[in-house]
Structure 1
Amino acid sequence: MRISIAIDGPAGAGKSTIAKKIAKELGIMYINTGLMYRAVTLKAIEENISPDNIEALSMLVDRMDMYFENDDLIVDGQNITSKLTTAEVSKHVASYASIAELRERLVVLQRNLASKFDIIMDGRDIGTVVLKNAAFKFYLTATPEERANRRYKELLSKSAVCSYEEILKDIIDRDYIDMNRSVNPLTKAEDAIEIDTTSLSIDEIVKTILDYIKKDLNNL
């Protein structure tokens, strides 16, 4: 039986960091769907393709060769991971990620990976759309202020020029778009376990999730 773990939640809730650690602990593949949407956003910005140019975006996605190598996303033979968390990409990703045609194409790719490997996947519609039948589903959240602070520190550690206030505004705007888009909005799956990460350390979150998983695996 394939192990599939879905982790959903808003931007900056710690999904990627937590998923990476759990993947290493369990020895399974980590698939960062958020990076896939960011990769499309980056390429669209570079090629001056606006979110309303559906035909050009669809063609862009169809010709992009994407795969994960450890924690990095390789696109068209290049490791572009370091470019995907810039303020410019973060500001525009929600507009591209809400496009139905784009989501449909990436969901097919994500499901194919899940059918071949034991995986943990994080995003905004994993438990509700991409992996509806995942054995384990978690929904991570935190206050907008805490999530903005985390992103601010991350960008500062990369010597990026950024503003906490602008990041907070982007996160609040992103939450609204994600939760109110017509196609697969961000929402907690009915059978997902919700974890508020605001006051928890990374190790505490990882332990909480692993405890749930290992308990259920031992009962199989």
Structure 2
Amino acid sequence: MAADHPGNGTPAQAAPVITIDGPTASGKGTIAQRVAQALGWHVLDSGALYRLTALAVLRDGGDGTDEAQAARLARRLDVRFQPDAILMGGEDVGALIRQEEVGNLASRVAAWPAVREALLARQRDFRRTPGLVADGRDMGTVVFPDAPLKIFLDADVGVRAQRRYKQLKDKGFSANLDDLLQDLRARDARDRGRAHAPLVAAADAVTVDSSHQGIDDVVRQVLDLWSAHGPA
């Protein structure tokens, strides 16, 4: 669902990487999965690591105000990513980390330098042959700055709210569209305004607006860009 476990496969710093950064609900995860599948590559959903950290904070009795606590839990995460599950301590928490409470806390936790530093090496461990598609908010700017192809996937906030609303309803969660829109705007402000690793397109990134494009169209665009620029 989110990524293969970094313990599987052969580590290779020279393995190619396609980074897909962008705001919440822009479609990064879906596009990354589809591109990776088409190329036969590994995939990293970096946002899942921050959501897992947020869930760990909640379960540890935290309220998202203690940076040291969050960093400690991030370093100690017992996580395995499988094709159809995300395991933390052996428990499938894939659905739990998609809840809005966890997502909102993850956005706050991700602003802390100590947490980002704690997860940096773990994210880079996912880079191995034959290649990696990594999605997040600072994949192209901080985690994999040497990636040969960097995508910044954007979409209108209203469109993103509609997508998140449908996603939650389809999974059986209650949701309010107006609340989701406010939450997304607040997350965007936090992600773009944080001092450490803010959400911003890398200088050499290609911006793709998915507001009025289907998944297949965006996937095809990314694959065409890789064919034209990546392998060279």
Q: What range is the shorter-chain TM-score in?
A: over 0.9
CA distance in 1, matches of 2:58, 2:129: 32
- Decide whether aligned partners of structure 1 residues 217 and 61 sit closer, same or farther in structure 2, where only a CA change above 3 A counts: closer
Q: Judging by fraction of residues, say which structure has more helix.
A: 1
Measured after TM superposition, the shift of residue 75 of structure 1 is 1.8
- Measured after TM superposition, the shift of residue 40 of structure 1 is 0.7
Which stretch shifts more, 171-180 or 50-59?
A: 50-59
Equivalent-residue separation in structure 1 for 2:32 and 2:96 (angstroms): 20
Amino acid at match of 2:139: I
Assess, with a 3 A threshold, how the Cα gap between structure 1 residues 155 and 96 changes in structure 2: closer, same or farther: same
- AA in 1 matched with 2:113: A
With over 3 angstroms needed to count, the CA separation of the structure-2 counterparts of 1:39 and 1:112, relative to structure 1, is: same
Q: CA deviation at 1:215?
A: 2.2
Give the equivalent residue in structure 1 for 2:83: 70
Counterpart Cα distance in 2 of 1:51 and 1:91: 10
The aligned residue for residue 137 of structure 2 is: 124
> What whole-Å deviation, never above 9, does each CA across 1:101-140 have from its counterpart, x for those lacking one?
1101111111122156621100000100000001110000
Can you give the 5+ residue segments of structure 1 that lack an aligned partner in the other structure? Answer: none
Unaligned runs of 5+ in 2: 1-13
Write the letter of the residue equivalent to 1:131.
F
Match of 1:145 in 2: 158
- Cα gap change, 1:101 to 1:71, in 2 (>3 Å): farther
Aligned to 2:74: 61
Q: Distance in 1 between matches of 2:80 and 2:147?
A: 21
Counting aligned pairs with the same residue, the percent is 31
Over 6 Å off, 4+ runs: none
- 1:165-187 CA-partner distances (Å, limit 9, x unpaired): 00000000000000000111000
Counterpart of 2:208? Answer: 195
The 1:54–1:217 alpha-carbon spacing in structure 2 relative to 1, beyond 3 Å, is closer
For 1:168, the equivalent position in structure 2 comes to 181
Cα RMSD of the aligned pairs, angstroms, is: 1.5
Report what 1:10 is aligned to. Answer: 23
**Shift of residue 78 of structure 1?**
2.2
Q: Give the total of aligned pairs.
A: 219
Partner of 2:41: 28
Equivalent AA in structure 1 for residue 221 of structure 2 = T
Give yes or no for contact 1:148–1:167 (8 Å, CA) kept in 2. Answer: yes
Q: TM-score, normalised by structure 1?
A: 0.94
Q: CA deviation at 1:84?
A: 1.2
- Counterpart contact for 2:41–2:133, Cα < 8 Å: yes
